[in-house]
Amino acid sequence: MSSPRTSHLFWPLLLTLGACSAVGPDYRAPQPQVPASWSAAHAGDPALLPAGQGGQALPAQWWTQFADPTLDALQQRASKASPDLQSAALRFAQARMQRQMVAAQRGPNVDAKGDIQRQRQSERGASARMISSIAPVNSDELVKTLAEPFTLYEAGFDASWEIDFWGRVRRSIEAADAQVEQQRALLEQARLLVASEVARGYFELRRVQQQIAVTRDDLRATEESLELVQARADGGLVDDFDLVRQRSQLEDLRSRLPSLLAAQTQAINQLGVLVGAQPGELSAQLAAPSVKPSALPDLSPGLPSEVARRRPDIRAAEAQLHAATASVGVAVAELYPSIRLGASFGYSSFESGKVSDWGSRQWAVGPSLSLPIFDNGRRRSQVTLRKLEQQQAAVNYQQTVLKAWQEVDDALSGYGAERQRNAQLQARLGSAGQAYDMAKARYAGGLTDFLVELDAQRNYLQARRDWVDSESQLRLDLVALYKALGGGAPVSAASEVQ
C-alpha cells in the first residue's frame, strides 16, 4: 500500500502526463497553388478575359445584381422549400451534435445506482466450502443460516475519467470540429447550387418567352406582308408564286410557336420543382415580362486567392483533409495504454432501516490500466488505413483546387466569348434591319422582285432571333461564372461551434 506522500506525488504526475501533446501528425493547412491573376491561369485567347479583375466583393445574395424582383422572390422561396438545402442543413446539425458527443469524453462520467434485491446463497457454493474448512463442527448450521433468503439494499454512485495521455480525445474533438466545418461548407455549396439552378431556370424561361414574343411579332409582320402581296396578286402586279412563298414563310413561323409554348410550360414546371410549387401555381408570377430586361451587372471576379477562400467545395475538401489528419492521431493513440481514474461510494445493508447509516458505507477509488498486447495487427492496420485516407483526402483537395481553376477559366472564357458574339449579332441585326427596309421599299416601288424582299426578311428575322438568344445566353453565362467564383459565400465561418 502506497504512503500518503507517494499518493500526493502520484496524482499530480497523472494530471501532468494527461496534458502531454497528442500523438499523431499535427495538421498544417495546405497552400494551394493560386495564380497571381486570371490571365496567368488562362488557357485560351487573352481577348476572352474581362478587362477588370478587382472591384467590390460579390454580395452573399449575388443574384440581386440582376435587379429582377421576380428572380429575388423565387430565390427566397427556394431557400425555404428546397429539399437539398433541408438535407444539407440537417447534416450540418448532425455534425454539430456529433461534435458535442465527442467533446463530452473530456469530462468524467458519473452514474447513480440503487438496488433492492432478494437473495439466497447456495448451501453448496464456495462460501459453504469455506465455512466447512474453517468450522467443520458447526458448518451445517452456519451454512443453513447463511443460505436463508434476505433482502439487500444498495445505493450510491460511480465516477470514472479517462486521462487523455496520448491525445485520443483531443484528436477526436479536432476531427469532429473539422467535420463540422466540412458540413458547413457543404451547406453553403448546396445553397450555391440551388441559387444557381433557380437563376439558370429563370433565365432559360425568359429566353423562351422572349423567343415567343419575337415569333409573334414576326407573325404579325409576315401576315401584313402577306396581305400586301395578296393585294398585288389580286391586282395582277405579281404572280401567285410570290404569294405561295410568303405563305410558306408564314407557316414556317407558325410551326415554331407550339414547341416554344411547350418549352415555356416545361421551364415553369422546372422552376416549380425548385421552389416547391404545384404545376400552374407560378404561371401568373412568371408571365412574360412587359419591360426590357435590365442591364447586365458589372463583372467583378476578384482575385484568385479570394476565390480559393470563397469556394465552398475547396473549403469542404480542406476540412476533410483536416479531419483525416486528426483521425490518424486517434488511431495512433489506440496503440498506447489507457488509464482511467475510477471512484465509487455508496451504502449497502440487508436491513432497510440502516441503509443510510454511516456504518453501511462502502467505497473504492483507484486507477485502472488497459494495455494492448496482441490483437492480430488490428490496431496497426487501423493506423495504416487512416494514413491512406489522409493521403486520399490530400489528393482530393488538390483535385478540387485544379477543378476550381478550370471551372473559373471556362466560365470567364464563355462569358467573354458571348459578349463578343452579342456585340457582333447586334451589329448584324442593325445591318439586316436596314437591308430589309431597303428591300421592302424597292419591292414596293417595283424595282426588285419579291424574292429579294423575302430573303432580306428571313435574314432579319434570323438575326433578331439570334440576338435575343444571345442576350439570354449572356445571363446564363454570368450565372455560371458566379457559380464558378463561389457565389457570395463568406470567406470565414459564419459562426463558431459551441
The CATH code of the domain that includes 72 is: 1.20.1600.10
Kindly indicate the confidence band of residue 128, based on its pLDDT and cuts at 50, 70 and 90.
confident
Selected residue with higher pLDDT from 215 and 42: 215
Tell me the angle at which helices 378-444 and 312-333 cross, rounded to the nearest 10 degrees.
170
Evaluate whether residue 204 is within a structural domain: yes
Evaluate whether residue 463 is within a structural domain: yes
Does the pTM exceed 0.95? no
Evaluate whether residue 293 is within a structural domain: yes
Quote the CA–CA distance of 99 and 92 in Å, as a whole number.
11
349, 360 Cβ separation under 8 angstroms = yes
Evaluate whether residue 372 is within a structural domain: no
Q: What percent of the chain has pLDDT over 90?
A: 33
pLDDT tens, residue by residue, 71-88: 999 999 999 988 889 999
Evaluate whether residue 493 is within a structural domain: no
Evaluate whether residue 316 is within a structural domain: yes
Least confidently predicted of 78-87, 216-225, 264-273, 402-411: 216-225
Count of domains in the chain? 1
pLDDT tens, residue by residue, 451-497: 677 778 788 888 988 998 999 899 999 999 889 888 875 544 444 43
Q: Which three-class secondary structure state does DSSP give residue 61?
A: coil
Q: Return the closest-CA partner of residue 323 out of 257, 385, 234, 393.
A: 393
Question: Which amino acid, one-letter code, is at 172?
Answer: S
Whole domain around residue 304: which residue ranges?
18-81+166-336+378-484
- Beta 109-119 vs 338-349: how paired, if at all? unpaired
DSSP state of 41: T
Q: What percent of the chain has pLDDT over 70?
A: 84
Find the mean pLDDT for residues 421-444.
88
Q: What is the pLDDT of residue 78?
A: 93
pLDDT tens, residue by residue, 331-340: 999 999 988 8
- Is a pLDDT exceeding 60 seen at residue 284? yes
Selected residue with higher pLDDT from 449 and 18: 449
Find the mean pLDDT for residues 4-13.
49
Evaluate whether residue 456 is within a structural domain: yes
Q: Return the closest-CA partner of residue 476 out of 272, 400, 463, 484.
A: 484
pLDDT tens, residue by residue, 189-243: 999 999 999 999 999 999 999 889 888 888 887 777 777 767 766 666 666 776 7
Q: What is the pLDDT of residue 237?
A: 63
Evaluate whether residue 190 is within a structural domain: yes
Kindly indicate the confidence band of residue 318, based on its pLDDT and cuts at 50, 70 and 90.
very high
Quote the CA–CA distance of 432 and 311 in Å, as a whole number.
44
